[in-house]
Amino acid sequence: MASIRFDRILLATLACAAGIGLTQCSDYNQILKSGSVDEKLEFAQAALDSGDCFKALPLFDELMQLSRGTERAPDIHWNRALTHDCVNDFYLSRYYFQTFVKTFPNDTRVEEGMFRAALCSYFLSPEATLDQTDTRSAIDELQLFMDRHPSSALRDSSQAMVDNLRLKLERKSFESARIYHTTGNFKSATIAMAHAMADYPGSAFQEELQFLTIDSHFQYAELSTERRKLERYNDAIQAFHTFASRFPESEWMPRAQRLYDNSVAAIADLDVNSQNSDPNR
């Protein structure tokens, strides 16, 4: 604990030296080290209000301990969460907003606190190429917020964020499936694409996924042994019929038609070869 406190004082001192004059810095250090609760609270609030959040952090951290169980506790807990949000520490900001909601369930700021916690999760959602655990958490939290506060003025903003996050998950699923096709792992591609289409039936990527499914089945058939080719060309044909019924005007239709025609021709060749190799013929 002593090491953590020293680090916070050092951080505050550096922030002070970078942002204000030496006299003010000396006053700040004096308050940080030996100021009264009222002095620390006044300075921390002023620092937060002016955007000097790194100076406010160590003060609010200490005030949290000093105010526990007092009437000041809700405001200090709230401002501590705001301060971490101010410095873009969204993990801790989320944690303190969540604990605020649980600790002070009758406070008038509970609705906003729940929204701010979910907003932190939204900001923590990474780009689509990375692991999407935080994205799913953000969706769950925003959905829970809307369920608990259906008449909130923040509902539309929450729904818009959920839509953006779901689109990110759809893209992640699509890209994960497409990479199997790109790398020539066609069997895995067909499985991953089927999962992606089932998981996100209204996705904007459905059309391309359906086309790539045809191509994956065809390419997989081309690479298969003679005894497995018929089944897999038929899979490509079936995938084409599904694609054609759903996307008859697709830009991929000419290419899909060629894959269909090639699959039909390949099956015909298999039939001819089978007859020619029949010893009883």
Alpha-helical segments (H) within the chain = 2-19, 22-34, 37-49, 53-66, 73-86, 90-103, 110-124, 133-148, 155-182, 186-199, 206-222, 226-246, 253-276
**Domain of residue 193, CATH code:** 1.25.40.10
Mean pLDDT of the chain: 89
pLDDT band at 202 (very low <50, low <70, confident <90, very high): confident
Q: Give the residue among 239, 168, 172, 175 at the shortest CA–CA distance from 210.
A: 239
Average pLDDT over residues 188-193: 97
Q: Is residue 13 part of a domain?
A: no
Average pLDDT over residues 97-124: 97
pLDDT tens digit sequence for 124-141: 999 998 999 999 999 999
Q: Give the residue among 137, 72, 148 at the shortest CA–CA distance from 104.
A: 72
pTM exceeds cut of 0.85: no
Length, in residues, of the chain:
281
State yes or no: pLDDT of 1 exceeds 70. Answer: no
pLDDT tens digit sequence for 36-80: 889 899 999 999 999 999 999 999 999 998 898 899 999 999 999
Alpha-carbon distance of 122 to 144, in angstroms, equals 14
State yes or no: pLDDT of 23 exceeds 60. Answer: no
Q: Is residue 10 part of a domain?
A: no
- φ, ψ for residue 95 (rounded to 5)? -60, -45
Q: Is residue 275 part of a domain?
A: yes
Alpha-carbon distance of 47 to 122, in angstroms, equals 26
pLDDT value of position 99: 97
Q: Is residue 162 part of a domain?
A: no
Number of domains in the chain: 1
Q: Is residue 71 part of a domain?
A: no
pLDDT value of position 4: 42
Residue 279 structural domain: 171-281
Q: Is residue 165 part of a domain?
A: no
Q: Is residue 236 part of a domain?
A: yes
